[in-house]
Amino acid sequence: MTHPASRLLPFALFLIAACSISTWAAAGNLSVQVLDKEGRPAPDAVVVVVPAAKTGTPRNPLPAQVTIYQEKMRFVPAVSVVAVGAKAQFVNNDPWEHHVRGSAAGAAQFNAGAGEGFELRLDGKPEGKPAKTADATFTKPGAVLLGCHIHGSMRGHVYVSESPWAVLTNAD
């Protein structure tokens, strides 16, 4: 007959190992690869890690400010990742006007009149003069869809993260 405590030994060893691994993992590096349905790397995917404990700081903190250009009828970069409270400066390098709109992705799109999202009117850049700029601050976490009221084909995204461990994938 075995002693009842001997049945607890494997469980106790498992707990010790699990605690060691979780402590080790908190201090380690994480590598993530996002693939499309053909198995190729998917650029511009947002990866967010939500730690179990709110300890530590990331090696590369999220920016408090980003610059998003309007160039050749596109948002550049097409996707940005920022922290809650971050500011984006929109710069119109095109010679024509853009009417930048931003709203929570998946919501009633571009409903700035209801207090959701924002609208920024940016005149075109005159030749030989500085580009027109406007700012928006991101106060709510989640995905924000960017568009241009005048040019319907223009689309971009800003992901506003509560977690400091958020990154954008590249083409590799």
pLDDT tens digits, 76-119: 999 999 999 999 999 999 999 999 999 887 765 555 555 568 99
24 located within any domain? no
The one-letter code for the residue type at 93 is: N
In this prediction, residues 20-39 reach a mean pLDDT of 70
Domain count, the chain: 1
20 assigned to some structural domain:
no
The pLDDT, as a whole number, for residue 64 is 92
In this predicted model, what pLDDT tens digit does every residue of 51-66 receive, in sequence order? 887 777 888 889 999 9
More confident residue, 17 or 81: 81
Indicate whether 42 pLDDT > 80: yes
pLDDT at 19: 39
Is residue 26 one of the residues assigned to a domain? no
Q: Is 65 contained in some domain?
A: yes
- What average pLDDT does the chain have? 81
Asked, for residue 14, whether it belongs to a domain, the answer is no
Rounded CA gap, 131 and 134, in Å? 10
Tally of CB atoms within 10 A around 133? 13
Q: Answer whether 104's CB lies under 8 Å from 151's CB.
A: no
Find the length of the chain: 172
Q: What is the reported pTM?
A: 0.77
What's the pLDDT band for 166 if we cut at 50, 70, 90?
A: very high
Residue 37 domain-assigned (yes or no) = no
For residue 97, tell me if it sits in a domain: yes
Structural domain for 68, as ranges: 46-168
37: confidence class by pLDDT, cuts 50, 70, 90: very high
Span of 29-33, 135-139, 148-152 with lowest mean pLDDT: 29-33
pLDDT value, residue 171: 84
pLDDT at 5 over 50: no
Whichever domain contains 158, its CATH number is 2.60.40.420
Gap between the Cα atoms of 139 and 91, Å rounded: 20
Decide if 10 is inside a domain. no
